[in-house]
């Protein structure tokens, strides 16, 4: 084990030692380890994907120390218009499935409280739990009570003793991040009332395969879950999936609803299970095909950027952009700067690729003489293209996904 990471010797979920190599994306710095010029550059860690023969779970071969990854965090949910708008739909759906008239609600990895705000505005008692103290403080200052702690079964037991169980417990795009995932799922079971509704949102492995979202592979994402592998995990703790719906987040995610009491599966669940079986997304062979396509895509994107005659900048210094840039070998020699609305990233350099991040306002001034913008935050394409067109940008956008790179 190094100072900040360790390689796994068995599957994190079933402890099988039958893990097979899928894809090696090279040594890369943790995706959110942006840094200031003059500071020591972040260390690089192997970024490779493995497949468990026994339970079909796809996961990273290395775990980075969570304290290094999450104690000071720079992703803020509220900076995305898409996420903010989607939070209304998410809360409405959750409340419709809950039997309590004024539910008590807890969110695990609640970030700046954007989603909990919707429940609070509906009259619910809310509690956020997030290990990133800087982001938890933002939420608390906005009136969303938030504990700056890692969620575990021990914390769940303490909360039940102090405040009782919850009617709704949800975790959006967090379980794939968690090394101690079994403790977290056990904690959800502990915190949830018998007639309560649990909700987990995660980037759909089927869509990752179908649309080649290899940029969603980074050190914070320890797992790439399918409906099957997530359902298997929940079943270990007698939690039963009864409904599923798509989400626009991360370029395409699943939101699954589950409970301690078995409910009849909706047609949505039955169809999703059948689709996974028909498309083979839980097979090793399909993931090897994905690895081959990833390598081809990376070469093509690097070639397009390297051979461009005019000035290229980029939009979106997201975590997924870090994987894409480092794997393709695209850096400050190719990209002059990256525009991002997140205030916490302004004035920093991207890890590994060393590209300066500037504000949206500064970017509007700078792009007047730009020919092309590489849209790293391609999963928010419609929102970003609209904003930049409205601001007067008349050049071209390089869109790296889904499936292949194209120009608009």
pLDDT confidence bin for 189, thresholds 50/70/90: very high
Residue 48's alpha-carbon distances to 61, 74, 105, 315, in angstroms, are: 6, 24, 36, 26
Mutual orientation of helices 284-306 and 319-328 as an angle, nearest 10°? 80
The SS3 assignment for 275 reads helix
pLDDT confidence bin for 71, thresholds 50/70/90: low
Q: Do domains 1-307 and 308-407 have the same CATH topology?
A: yes
- Over residues 66-81, the mean pLDDT reads 59
- Over residues 270-297, the mean pLDDT reads 97
Q: What is the pLDDT of residue 84?
A: 75
The domain 308-407 belongs to what CATH superfamily?
A: NAD(P)-binding Rossmann-like Domain (3.40.50.720)
pLDDT at 95 over 80: yes
pLDDT at 243 over 90: yes
Q: What is the per-residue pLDDT across 335-361, written as a single tens digit (0 to 9) for each? A: 999 999 988 899 999 999 999 999 999
Q: What pTM did the predictor assign?
A: 0.87
Residue 136's alpha-carbon distances to 7, 139, 229, 237, 312, in angstroms, are: 30, 5, 30, 29, 36
- 386 phi, psi to nearest 5 deg: -60, -50
pLDDT at 72 over 70: no
pLDDT at 1 over 80: no
Which 8-state DSSP code applies to residue 404? S
Q: Are 312 and 336 in contact (CB under 8 A)?
A: yes
Length of the chain: 408
Q: What is the pLDDT of residue 253?
A: 87
Mean residue pLDDT of the chain comes to 92
Q: Where are the domains of the chain?
A: 1-307, 308-407
pLDDT at 264 over 60: yes
pLDDT at 15 over 80: yes
Q: What is the per-residue pLDDT across 110-144, written as a single tens digit (0 to 9) for each? A: 988 999 999 999 999 999 999 888 888 888 999 99
Residue 305's alpha-carbon distances to 302, 332, 334, 335, 340, in angstroms, are: 5, 12, 7, 9, 20
pLDDT confidence bin for 2, thresholds 50/70/90: low
Architecture of domain 1-307: 3-Layer(aba) Sandwich (3.40)
């Amino acid at each position: 084990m190094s100072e900040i990471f360790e390689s796994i010797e068995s599957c994190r979920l079933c402890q099988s030692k039958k893990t097979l190599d899928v894809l090696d994306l090279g040594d890369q710095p943790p995706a959110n380890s942006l840094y200031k010029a003059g500071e020591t550059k972040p260390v690089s860690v192997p970024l490779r994907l493995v497949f468990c023969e026994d339970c079909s779970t796809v996961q990273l071969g290395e775990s980075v120390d969570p304290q290094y990854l999450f104690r000071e965090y720079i992703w803020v949910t509220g900076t995305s218009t898409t996420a903010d708008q989607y939070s209304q739909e998410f809360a409405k759906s959750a409340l419709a499935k809950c039997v309590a008239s004024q539910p008590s609600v807890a969110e695990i990895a609640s970030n700046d409280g954007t989603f909990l705000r919707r429940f609070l505005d509906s009259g619910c008692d809310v509690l956020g739990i997030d290990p990133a103290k800087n982001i938890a403080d933002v939420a608390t200052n906005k009136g969303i009570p938030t504990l700056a702690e890692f969620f575990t079964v021990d914390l769940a037991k303490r909360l039940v003793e102090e405040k009782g169980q919850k009617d709704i417990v949800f975790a959006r795009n967090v379980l794939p991040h968690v090394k101690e995932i079994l403790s977290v799922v056990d904690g959800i079971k502990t915190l949830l009332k018998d007639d309560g509704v649990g909700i987990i949102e995660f980037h759909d492995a089927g869509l990752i395969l179908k649309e080649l979202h290899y940029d969603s592979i980074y050190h914070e994402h320890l797992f790439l879950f399918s409906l099957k592998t997530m359902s298997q995990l929940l079943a270990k703790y007698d939690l039963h999936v009864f409904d599923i719906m798509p989400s626009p987040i991360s370029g395409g995610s699943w939101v699954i609803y589950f409970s301690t009491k078995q409910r009849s599966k909706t047609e949505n669940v039955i169809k999703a299970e059948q689709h996974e079986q028909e498309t083979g997304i839980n097979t090793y062979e399909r993931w090897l095909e994905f690895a081959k396509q990833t390598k081809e895509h990376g070469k093509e994107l690097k070639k397009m950027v390297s051979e461009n005659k005019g000035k290229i900048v980029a939009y979106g210094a997201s975590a997924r952009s870090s994987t894409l840039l480092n794997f393709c070998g695209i850096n400050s020699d190719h990209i002059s700067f990256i525009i991002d609305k997140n205030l916490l990233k302004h004035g920093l350099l991207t890890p590994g690729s060393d590209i300066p991040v500037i504000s949206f306002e500064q970017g509007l001034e700078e792009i007047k003489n730009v020919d092309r913008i590489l849209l790293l935050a391609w999963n928010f394409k419609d929102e970003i293209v609209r904003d930049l067109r409205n601001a007067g940008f008349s050049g071209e956008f390089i869109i790296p996904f889904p499936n292949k790179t194209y120009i608009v």
